[in-house]
Amino acid sequence: MTQGIHTVINLQESGEHASCGNPLEKSGFTYDPDIFMESPIYYYNFKWKDYGFANTNFILDIVKVISFALTQGKIAIHCHA
């Protein structure tokens, strides 16, 4: 199931997928993040508005998490754009 992935990084905003695709879970996404954490797979959500800009500190926070996550194994990053 994990394909060797140890970390999932989600860049979606909760609820942004509501107008297309499958119905949303209670989490506001098309899946329940608890499924990953029970696997155990680290899960991070950095909500980033579609086609938006992010400030330097926000990007650095993501880079720090990615840097750590890569020491643990493979990562998957996704958004909705």
CB 50 within 8 A of CB 81: yes
CB 75 within 8 A of CB 4: no
Return d(Cα 45, Cα 14) in angstroms, integer. 9
Which of these is catalytic: 62, 65, 76, 79?
A: 79
Does this model's pTM top 0.75? My answer is yes
Return d(Cα 72, Cα 35) in angstroms, integer. 19
The predicted structure's pLDDT at residue 81: 64
Residue 17 or 38, more confident: 38
Residue entry with tokens 């990053």: 77
Tokens of 11: 């860049």
Which residues are CB-neighbours of 19 under 8 A, at least 6 positions away?
A: none
Q: Quick check: 2 pLDDT over 70?
A: no
pLDDT digits (tens, 9 = 90+) for 20-78: 766 678 888 878 888 888 888 999 999 988 788 999 999 999 999 999 999 999 999 99
Q: Is 79 a catalytic residue?
A: yes
